[in-house]
Amino acid sequence: MKSYTQWLETAEDGATEFELFYPHGPIFRLSMTLLPNVLQAIILIRTYHGGQTRKGDGFPYLEHPLEVGYKLWKNKFSNDVIVAGLCHDLIEDTKCTEQEILENCGPEVLKIVKAVSNDETLSDKKDWEKKKEMYIKSVEDGGEEAIAVSIMDKICNLQSFFDQYEKEGPALWKRFNRGKEKKLWFEKAVLGMAKKHWENPLLNQLEKLVIKLENTSE
């Protein structure tokens, strides 16, 4: 991955570009900043996710929100959904405040981000199931925009899981708090909820990944 200082460059079209290097795939070269609030969102996630690493593979955490935002953009979702995809983990996983998201990205983005955020006052050890049930209800109440971000988040996470599973095999499950059974329950519950309220080809993509997860050895 390029350093932070190398991300902000002047593109030929006058936009701000950055490049994302994946060990397991091609380079993402993006010029999304012509859209309102995308640059502000990138600055926020660079500030707050910088230095974090992913649980499953140890790669820079920034890969994940950038990938979610990029794929929402490629699938032609609205600007608010794209920006919320970039910012979706800020409230849950960093010290970024709701006010910062509001000021930089607007009220609709904040609404979506809040809808797709777990309640971090609940403990993973004691209240994991309750926490996930509340997340599903929150996404459902957030409507189609929140569902779109949640589903894309899950697609990207599962694809990353399988990339790493090819390297580590069943040992990878040891990094997850509740193991295969509970993870599979959660993925199916989110998918089932989304099917009730949303029609989009992304649901078929997620369903195939969930079936693959079910057939994965623990």
Written as one letter, the residue type at 100 is E
194 contacts 144 by C-beta, under 8 angstroms: no
The pLDDT tens digits of the residues spanning 8-44 come to 444 444 444 455 444 444 334 555 545 678 888 988 9
- Of residues 5 and 52, more confidence is placed in 52
pLDDT surpasses 90 at 145 = yes
pLDDT surpasses 80 at 57 = no
Q: Give me the mean pLDDT over the 88-99 stretch.
A: 96
Quick one: pLDDT band at residue 101, thresholds 50, 70, 90? Answer: very high
pLDDT in the model for residue 1: 35
pLDDT surpasses 90 at 113 = yes
pLDDT in the model for residue 74: 87
Quick one: pLDDT band at residue 81, thresholds 50, 70, 90? Answer: very high
Q: Which residues of 68-94 are buried (b: 16+ CB within 10 A; e: fewer)?
A: bbbbbbeeebebbbbbbbbbbbbbebb
The pLDDT tens digits of the residues spanning 150-197 come to 999 999 999 999 999 999 999 988 888 778 999 999 999 999 999 999
What is the distance between the alpha carbons of residues 217 and 151, in angstroms, rounded to a whole number?
Answer: 24
pLDDT in the model for residue 22: 44
- Of residues 122 and 216, more confidence is placed in 216
pLDDT in the model for residue 34: 53
Poorest-confidence range of 103-112, 117-126, 135-144? 117-126
pLDDT in the model for residue 30: 52
> How many CB atoms are closer than 10 A to CB 182?
14
Q: Domain-by-domain residue ranges, the chain?
A: 4-214
Tell me the C-alpha to C-alpha distance, in Å, between residue 147 and each of 48, 55, 195, 215.
Answer: 24, 23, 10, 25
Helices (H), the chain: 4-7, 38-49, 63-74, 79-87, 90-93, 98-105, 107-115, 124-168, 179-197, 201-214
What is the distance between the alpha carbons of residues 111 and 25, in angstroms, rounded to a whole number?
Answer: 33
> Domain 4-214: which CATH class?
mainly alpha
